[in-house]
A and B are shown apart, each in its own frame.
Chain A
Amino acid sequence: MASTVVQHAAPPPLAERHGRERATRSGIWVAIFAITMSFAAFTSALMVRQGSGDWKHIVPPPVIYLNTVALLISSITLERARNRATSGSRPQLRNGLPWIVVTFVLGLFFVLGQYLVWRQLAAQGLYLATTSNSSFFYVFTVMHALHLLGGIVALTYLIAQITSRQGQPRWSLFDGAATYWHFMGVLWLYLLFVISTRL
């Protein structure tokens, strides 16, 4: 029998989901676990380095808070997309497309905003190697931005799949991208906390 590619318009009940759908879900959580561990390593490096003196607190440029708000709103918009895609008489991912695009734009806004933060820090004379604080500031924010860019790539792929004429992408693609995106928001809140209190 010819191979069939399962196409789900709306999420099937968990029990019926085929192994590969479940695997995508597990895979995202495993990736989240690994990324968390990496940032735990960076945090422990920070804690060890704080032991030595010469620690001058950095006041983060205020635009960082605007970026934070944008990122948090983007999580809300992504959930709105999920809502739209799963409700109504004919649930399909295409219904959530406008909100997915909004999320994508907010994500780009965040990354560009972070770039502005870095430029403002540089204007104060704080570069990557200037002080220990500034090193960690750049390492944390750049690593987060790079991971978020990965999420943006995922959203781009999702949008491309939805808008192509070849039917609906798998639900697990949206689900995975959304879980990852929310994780980026949570991670950012943690990093912002570290930056404002410890750096």
Chain B
Amino acid sequence: MEDAAVQPVQVHAPPEGFIRKFVFSLDHKMIGKQYYGLALMAVFMGMVLSWFMRFHLVWPDAKIPGLGAIAPTGAPGGVITPEYYLSLLTMHGTLMVFFVLTNAPFAGFGNYFLPIQIGAEDMAFPRFNMMSFWTTLVAFIVLVSAFFIPDGPPISGWTAYAPLSAVGKDAGPGLGWGQNLWAMSIALFCVGQLLGSLNFIATTLDLRAKGMTLMRMPICTWAWFITSCIGLLAFAVLLPACLLLLLDRMAGTSFFIPSGLVVSDRLQNHAGGSPLLWQHLFWFFGHPEVYIAILPAVGIVSHVLITSMRKPLLSAKVMIYSMMSIGFLSWMVWGHHMFVSGMNPFSSLLFSFPTLTITIPATIITLIWLGSLFGANIQINSASLFALGFVSMFVSGGVSGFFLAQPSIDIYLHATYFVVGHFHMVMGVAAIFGILSGTYFWFPKMSGRMMNETLGQIHFWITFVGTYCIFMPFHYLGLVGNVRRYSSFVDDFMAPLMPVHKFISIAAFITGAAQLIFLYNLIHSRFRGKIAPENPWNATSLEWSIPSPPPWNNFGDKHPVVFHDPYQYGVKGSKGDFVMQDSPEQVVGGWDK
């Protein structure tokens, strides 16, 4: 009995057979790869949708081949109607925010590396983990099926504001079953994320190896942990919101639909609901969601930069506390998406203040990176380039947030391209750069092979320059009054802006095409890449102490023991310029005290 209490419990049996190994896998590594693969599918889909939009904006009468077959009413003959443009942007946003930015950096890399970095055999609840992926996959299929129903996908945006999203098919194309499928998909997605977050939190708190105190966890592990805490509470609010929306749409309730609403000459049979309630519920989820999208990238980039610089950050502890503050403050700012919604103007002040406050930890994080990079002899490779690119994009994209945080300025900039530029730079570029940096960094560990470095650097430079060309002009467009979510700009004052739009569209096509270089590199290297050593980057955290790719139970029969913080680089007197985290070699200092 005494022995039994301390013997390790095997989390699950070694996988046997194709189905157990590759389909219904309980192994966190396979689940992480499955999430990543799903995100890859979603990002290419989302990118194609954005191409359709950019094409249409510049050449509104263009016939897009094949689109007429998929959407005979939305795009007859391949020419996109204004309503279908709205469908495209709805699905683009939904796919990208949910299925790419919440999946890849968090569920993808987090699932793969969190257990390894804390020295665990697997996640705490492998069956829940598997369920979380499959729920997410079903959610994806439900969402994409909206393209193939006769009425098409919804037109209410990824934000699905009521009453447009709640009244049903009277309000426009795609708002019948299209919106139902959207709401069901997102509700399922919430369930998947809740299960995933539960796993991350329980695993981090209870399955750490001997010696792995919380303060000895790598920064990316902290980022995943903080993200999962945010995600647990955020998705727990979105799920009720989607359920109430579905009830309004399918059961005749009136949570979001006011009385006396006449839509398409038909009086809607609802009374007493509040459209503003949807905005409150959605953005209470929605703002923490954007931090869910960025924090894992912050963690990954910090991890990659430290390894490439061969020295620790100025203060990893301050970095961790800043990430925690961002997580905490993210709950107080949701109203900054609602400055022009008609709320009491005094509430705008109450939301604006914490929004500006949140810039403080974000700035501290940036200054820590910049300060650490100063004087560093950074090793340049694809991973570190994308990490540096992230720092650039985080600043460029984040700074426009300072402006939008102020209600007086936001009244003018709300619903213009300025906002679109802001969130694309931070989410659409910076967060993606975090994912790409992580990919180039961890690919050798996950597949046992190296990616092609030349292709990686070409991919970086085209993407870096290209995304600046696409999204920087958005800020200019917004400032001169270019409205967002319009399928064409017929007002006289916007005519001079068409050359800017043309430039953006062409940049978008070129940058998008460059991503095929990455895709080719990924697939080719998986099968033909140079065999990777166990620790190609001479990195210190626990994932680099196991074979590439890792065995099914990560550490084999050994249980790792950890002796110090994970960023012992440039250590005087040690063999080489680094000390692995599981090496008992004595180190001086360390920020884990």
Contacts and interface: CB of A to CB of B under 8 A. Distances in A.
Interface stretch (A31-39, A76-84, A156-164, A188-196): A31-39
Nearest to B239: A38
A190 B356 CA distance: 36
A44 interface: yes
B5 A12 contact: yes
Determine the main DSSP class of B at the interface with A: helix
Contacts of A123: none
Range of interface residues on B (Cβ < 8 Å): 35 or more
B483 interface: no
A35 B197 CA distance: 13
Contact of B281 (A6, A8, A17, A41): A41
Given A19-B206, A49-B272, A54-B271, A5 B125 contact: no
Interface stretch (A21-29, A95-103, A178-186): A21-29
A38 B237 contact: yes
B253 interface: yes
Given A23-B205, A27-B124, A49-B255, A4 B10 contact: yes
A146 B124 CA distance: 25
Contacts of B125: 23, 27
Interface residues of A, number: 41
A90 interface: no
A34 B194 contact: yes
Interface stretch (A60-68, A109-117, A128-136): A128-136
Given A4-B10, A48-B276, A23 B236 contact: no
Contacts of B10: 3-5
Nearest to B271: A54
B8 interface: yes
Contact of A129 (B9, B13, B201, B251): B251
Contact of A34 (B9, B206, B233, B258): B233
A52 interface: yes
A6 B5 CA distance: 7
Contact of A20 (B9, B194, B273, B277): B9
Interface stretch (B152-160, B240-248, B386-394, B423-431): B240-248
Contacts of A24: 124, 202
A35 B236 CA distance: 7
B11 A30 contact: no
A128 to B, nearest CB: 5
A48 B244 CA distance: 14
Interface string B220-256: 0000000000001101110111011001000111110
A135 B232 contact: no
Contacts of B120: 19
A97 B358 CA distance: 53
Contacts of B241: 41
B490 interface: no
B206 A49 contact: no
Nearest to A45: B277
Contacts of A1: 557
Interface string B266-285: 00000111101100110010
Interface centre among A1, A18, A22, A35, by most chain B C-beta atoms within 10 angstroms, is A18
Interface of A: 1, 3-8, 12, 16-20, 22-24, 26-27, 30-31, 33-35, 37-38, 40-42, 44-45, 48-49, 51-54, 128-129, 132, 135, 139
Question: Across chains A and B, which 6 residue pairs bring their CB atoms closest together, nearest first?
Answer: A129-B252, A23-B124, A3-B10, A37-B236, A23-B206, A22-B206
Interface of B: 4-11, 13, 120, 124-125, 194, 197-199, 201-203, 205-208, 232-233, 235-237, 239-241, 243-244, 247, 251-255, 258, 271-274, 276-277, 280-281, 284, 557
29 contacts: A3-B10, A4-B7, A8-B4, A12-B5, A16-B5, A20-B11, A20-B207, A23-B124, A23-B202, A23-B207, A24-B202, A26-B205, A27-B201, A30-B197, A30-B232, A34-B197, A34-B198, A38-B236, A38-B240, A41-B240, A41-B241, A45-B240, A49-B274, A129-B252, A129-B253, A132-B254, A135-B253, A135-B254, A139-B247
